Structure 1
Amino acid sequence: MKTGKKLLDEMPESYRNDNITSTSAIDMLMKFGDVESVEQIFRSIKAKGADIYGALMNGYNLNGESWKCFKIFEEMNEKDIIPDEIAWNVLIGACSKSGMLHHCQYIMNQIPLNIQNNIRIQNALIDMWGKCGSIEKAKNVFNLVIDRDTITYNAMSNNIFFHESFMISIEKIFLVNGFGLNGMGSQAAKLYREMPNNLRDHISQICVLNACSHAGLLHEARTIINEISLKTESIITTMIDCLSRLFMFDEAQKLIEDYEKTNTPSIAMYMSLLSGARNNRNSNLSEKIYKRMKTLFPNAKESIVADVVLLSNIYSSLGRYEEAKNFRSNQIKELGVKQLKTHDHSHPQSTEIYAKIDRLKSKAIENGFIFHSSWITRSLNENETTESVLCGHSELLVIALNLIQELGPKFIQVVKNLRVCGHCQEFTKVIAKIEQCDIVVRDANRIHHFYPNGQCSCQDHF
């Protein structure tokens, strides 16, 4: 990074407004995560072309600031700068990361038809719609693909030619992944079976196994993994996740033991196993996994912190509140991590939001819903109840915010950076039924479709 910045500082003034040089500089600095320096360079460029805008937006995607891409797109419109294919691809990627349907539809409506018919754009659109929970629109794009002759890709400085069948397999991989994210495991497996054997690569295998895992399709997952000759770490981890979700811990641990006979231990495998143990409230197995992980991965602080949270949650679910509190406090302190509260009262409509939550809570209780204290990982304060603590989770606040608007929505979409907890999973089902609306929640693992009949697309395999 220092060398790169030194080169930029020494660059002659005549090169600073050159689009090719500026694009390279933006790409370099964005990969270093230096967004501020990039924005300074961008503002200093007098004549900006679509390539400069595309490089900036791509950098925002790389650095988790995809929302800025939409502002940049508006600036391009104001200055009558027409995005090229690369810029459109980057914008579609920003939509995928945002997870919001209104962003997707807005950008989709702007893309010229000749660009929409480009195979790379179509692949990106299939991926975008799948990640935003609109599997029907993903299928529609898939069905519209008409150019399935030999396709030319220009990647970096080389021309790479793909045969028609390979291009079809890429489209199917995106669609298999979309089915999996949206809890449509059977459809994902069916589509995978349609792919020629020689084109079922590492990525498609992970996608279909993940789809089976999230849909509880154990037999299908076993059949598929037995057909795979080269079982990589990622493939085995996905199978361990599938077994752990179904509480088949002996078989999952056997896979880990067999893998470690010839490979170094994988933290992802243990995380999958621990997550399943938490859902099963298996404290003995969880403690065993946690101790093993601390021994094997002493420097993996971020993952160990997640383990601490999972294990303390198990203690709480078993009524061992003091043990949960002490364990969490001691371990977090040992790891040197700061904690933040999750409840939020900063929104201008905060009073109305919590009032709506209270009304939903009352209706849920009237219908027999029980707020289980097992989902609380600490002891309650004097002014708290089980209901007040559980109803402060972020996705519930966002849902309530949508519901208090003048025209009550029939569709609500939420994007969450963590996995949905068991309480919010059950309560959101009830809310969807009470309000008779569709609620889509994209969490860290998958997409949940909550329907007005009180069911969820994940069938509780989350």
Structure 2
Amino acid sequence: MQFMETLSTPLVSLPIQANPEAPTVKSDNQNRPVLSLIDQKLFTASTLSPFSSLEYARKVFDEIPEPNLYMWNTLIRAYSWSPEPSESVKIFLRMLCESPYFPNKFTFPFLIKAATKLSRLGVGQVFHGLVVKSSFGDDVFILNSLIHFYASCGDLDFAYRVFVRIGEKDVVSWNSMISRFVQGGCFDKALELFKEMEAENVKPNAVTKVGVLSACTKMKDLEFGRWVRSYIEQKGIKMDLTLSNAMLDMYAKCGSVEDAKKLFDEMEEKDIVSWTTMIDGYAKLGEYDLGAMDVGEWNHENIKKQRMKLNCHLTTSLIDMYSKCVEELQLICSTEGMKLRSSPMLLLLPMYYACACSHSGLVEEGRMFFNQMEPVYGVVPGVKHYACMVDILGRAGLLEEAVEFIEKMPITPSASVWGALLGACKIHENVELAEQACSRLLELEPENDKALVLLSNIYAKTEKWDNVSELKKRMRVSGLQKERGWSSMEVNGTLHKFLAADNSHPLSKEIYSKLEEIVAKLKSSGHVTNKSLLLQLVDEEDMKEQGLNLHGEKLAIAFGLISTSPSQLIRIVKNLRVCGDCHTVAKLISKLYNREILLRDRYRFHHFSGGNCSCMDYWCRWEELVLKNSTQTS
């Protein structure tokens, strides 16, 4: 505080000298120039060497009788980089008082850097004023430092004002402002500035691209990100590891794992960031409706082949990826040598285990992990953990216990908690409780269209068609729309998308012909379509069956059978939950056609093989249908 008081009073009123000459060397000491040169070299080595000691450098400096401006600047610079940037300001004040020198253009950037590290707006503003008075207001290096200073202090507007006043901006000027806009959350401004940079014919470098890609990532602007990639290739900008990782991160977070994987395969050099980004992208596919557990497993295998050491971020990403299946989660934890009680990063593992348990019907295991969180792992359960526990109880049909669990929660139930209960009500067709859960959910999220759609489906399953009509009317009035279901499949790098009863595909004729063959084989094997699964009011029985047979996932499977080799895995992604009839049909097709099918719906992976599914049919209550079909097809 003392140096601040000193700074705020005398510094502003100091006389301004325009580049004074260095003092004349005394003629009575002919050895002085030689000694000065030795002092300067010794001081520089002790100050700026990687093995330097500022304490020693300060002692050397204090022994120099008449340090020149270079020495003052060197000491100011060294302290501006040190953990004690305030010493830079003190040295500066001492220079003004004890020497005949006034700061030059090399002094101010270090002083501004010190003010930046101190995060003191007033200090930097004083230096800015001195810069202007000293006729250095046009020095681009100093102005770039001021941009960094003002932005770091949270004053983006003034940083931009400094930027605009730069007559001839260099690439550092543009990079400083672009990166500061990104860090300040002004992503659209960052992209606009990049376009201005292009118009000014300033050649961007890799730093520029990293900043622009960061903006694209935050805005989830995939198209602009792809344009940046194209621009980099056209301009011949070298794709170093940092830039490649930034682009990889942009693709993954914008939801295009296809682009990410293509870039990843092209990268000559990969580090832990590259691998973590890819795995994290696959782990979060549920947010973007994409699915590729096999590619995720491929990544995991490559990590093991290259003997890469798993850090906490990479391990967490692997756990997140495998968390939909408790068996795979247990396997990854055991094979990678993770100890539940000893590893700090596995503080989140009980939650992942609980989520996996909810998808596998392991109620007791889920209950055990939840109850162990605080006493064993020292983690106080949060709202996500409570929602997970409600999901476990609800899926198992323990609805009364789920309600009691919610009532006893020590924290206010969130929308995710009521959403878990509502989902369980759909599985077990509990209309009354579903209405209560939906009402509580809408109190928290009035625009949650998925809650109304889910309640409408529950009404449809229980054939309460008047209620369905009322809900649809309510959604129309409020402007809410039901998300339309689709299924997609990638073949030879091309994504094929199918809606229900879709006939827009170029191979539509062949697809429907294959679908007719499938339906005929299913009937001959004893399969009977469960028409109660059609959540629409359709009177004619044959129309009900046709409606189910034309679901997007069935069209995608038919396309997969005609477009891939017999040994190739059929990979399908669905944006909503797979319906019960499609789930049963996929199992039967995997047996009748001896094909493996990987279907990723909104909630989990389903791996169909030999007439079985990896989810063990626990995802929904189809036990009666499964038992009936297994009897008829055995």
- Could you state the TM-score of these two structures normalised by the residue count of structure 1? 0.77
Q: Does 1:454 align with 2:611?
A: yes
The one of 301, 317, 334 aligned to 2:447: 301
What is the correspondence of 1:426-437 to structure 2 with a 5 Å cutoff? 426-437=584-595
Aligned to 1:179: 322
Residue 270 of structure 1, CA deviation: 0.7
Aligned to 2:394: 244
The one of 272, 278, 287 aligned to 2:426: 278
Per the alignment, do residues 64 and 287 of structure 1 end up closer, same or farther by CA in structure 2, a change over 3 Å counting? same
SS in 2 for 1:448: strand
Q: Distance in 2 between matches of 1:55 and 1:381?
A: 59
What is the correspondence of 1:18-417 to structure 2 with a 5 Å cutoff? 18-25=174-181, 31=187, 40=195, 44=199, 46-64=202-220, 66=222, 69=225, 72-73=228-229, 75-93=231-249, 96=252, 103=259, 105-113=261-269, 116=270, 118-128=271-281, 132-134=292-294, 135-143=296-304, 168-181=311-324, 184-187=328-331, 190=334, 194-197=339-342, 199-200=344-345, 203-229=348-374, 230-259=380-409, 262-294=410-442, 296-297=443-444, 299-302=445-448, 305-320=449-464, 322-339=465-482, 342=485, 343=500, 344-380=502-538, 385-405=543-563, 410-417=568-575
- Could you state the TM-score of these two structures normalised by the residue count of structure 2? 0.58
Is the contact made by 2:257 and 2:281 (CA closer than 8 Å) also made in structure 1?
A: no
Q: Distance in 2 between matches of 1:440 and 1:270?
A: 30
Q: Please, which runs of 5 or more residues in structure 2 have no aligned partner? A: 1-154, 286-291, 375-379, 486-499, 620-634
Deviations 1:148-201 (A, max 9, x none): 5xxxxxxxxxxxxxxxxxx64433322222222356344356569624445155
Deviations 1:389-443 (A, max 9, x none): 2234333333333333375672222333323232332222233334433322333
SS in 2 for 1:415: strand
Q: Distance in 2 between matches of 1:133 and 1:253?
A: 34
Residue identity in the other structure for 1:172: T
Residue identity in the other structure for 2:479: G
Is the contact made by 2:514 and 2:562 (CA closer than 8 Å) also made in structure 1?
A: yes
Per the alignment, do residues 181 and 40 of structure 1 end up closer, same or farther by CA in structure 2, a change over 3 Å counting? farther
Larger Rg: 2
Is the contact made by 1:58 and 1:90 (CA closer than 8 Å) also made in structure 2?
A: yes
SS in 2 for 1:450: strand
Residue 282 of structure 1, CA deviation: 2.0
Q: Distance in 2 between matches of 1:182 and 1:67?
A: 34
SS in 2 for 1:288: helix
Q: Distance in 2 between matches of 1:408 and 1:291?
A: 49
Q: Distance in 2 between matches of 1:384 and 1:5?
A: 67
Deviations 1:279-321 (A, max 9, x none): 1122232123223334x32x4312xx2222222222222333x
Larger deviation, residues 310-319 vs 348-357: 348-357
Q: Distance in 2 between matches of 1:48 and 1:213?
A: 50
Is the contact made by 1:57 and 1:66 (CA closer than 8 Å) also made in structure 2?
A: no
Residue 326 of structure 1, CA deviation: 1.6
SS in 2 for 1:404: helix
Is the contact made by 1:188 and 1:208 (CA closer than 8 Å) also made in structure 2?
A: no
SS in 1 for 2:293: coil
Per the alignment, do residues 379 and 439 of structure 1 end up closer, same or farther by CA in structure 2, a change over 3 Å counting? same
SS in 1 for 2:480: coil
Is the contact made by 2:324 and 2:604 (CA closer than 8 Å) also made in structure 1?
A: yes
Residue 447 of structure 1, CA deviation: 2.3
Residue 220 of structure 1, CA deviation: 2.2
Deviations 1:248-295 (A, max 9, x none): 212222221111xx433311001011111111122232123223334x
Residue identity in the other structure for 1:225: F
Residue 238 of structure 1, CA deviation: 1.3
State how many pairs are aligned.
Answer: 430
The one of 406, 413, 421 aligned to 2:579: 421
Alpha-carbon RMSD: 3.8
SS in 2 for 1:228: helix
Deviations 1:105-155 (A, max 9, x none): 533322224xx2x3333333443455530253243244357575xxxxxxx
Identity of aligned residues (%): 22
Q: Distance in 1 between matches of 2:208 and 2:554?
A: 40
Q: Distance in 1 between matches of 2:545 and 2:253?
A: 32
Q: Distance in 2 between matches of 1:328 and 1:186?
A: 43
SS in 2 for 1:445: coil
SS in 2 for 1:368: coil
